[in-house]
Amino acid sequence: MLKLFLTKSLLVALPMITLASTANAVSDTELMKKGIWRDPKTGLYWDRCSVGQTWNGTTCTGTPIELNWQDAKDYVKKFTNEQAKGGYTNWRLPTIQELSTIRYCSKGWFQNIETKKVSELTAQGRVEREVTTNHGTIMMTIPADNGGSLQVPEWCADGSIAPTLNAQIFPNSKDDPYWSSSPYANNSNNAWGAGFYYGSASYYNKDYSTYVRAVRSD
């Protein structure tokens, strides 16, 4: 009896899941046409264009503008929300944790590979050979959104295409740093950003002018 009940429950639930998935797919397609990408991993909504560019229905046109850290925060809060891209007025500067999630390395992340020569005694006598060990992806520490810290891959492997973003999602993007809203805890004059040439997160002087991409949450 229990088995029959469970089977019926699953049969009822399956169409609901299918309909929900279809609805999300349609919604995401419409967002992309408006110049907005919803990351299925994080649920964040990203402006496909850099600040200063215009979405023409197909791609990002124009030249991105460079702003210092404070101006970047103010610009997104004021002008981006006044434009109400996609009908939304809660755009903001991403945190460094959020900004790090859109890095894309076409050759994967840089690995900590150690190669050394070892000498060993064989039936043919003593021989030397090279032994290669992969110790895994090189990681770095960034501030986490919950107030703690987070380990993320440090940079892209050699040969990765720059900018280290998915160009189909973020067309005509720059490979220079983009600001995050996260201040650098060890020096109040600095704040975090992500560079999209090597795909690395780092900190920069707040007076430094560089690029901006807006994000929003539900």
pLDDT tens digits for 159-214? 999 999 999 999 999 999 999 999 999 999 999 999 999 999 999 999 999 999 99
* Burial state string for 31-60 with b = 16 or more CB within 10 A and e = fewer than 16: beeebbbbeeeeebbbbbbbbbbebeeeeb
| Reported confidence tier of residue 114, pLDDT bands at 50, 70, 90 | confident
- Structural domains for the chain: 37-105+163-216 (3.10.100)
pLDDT: which is higher, 7 or 207: 207
Q: And the tokens for 97?
A: 């944790």
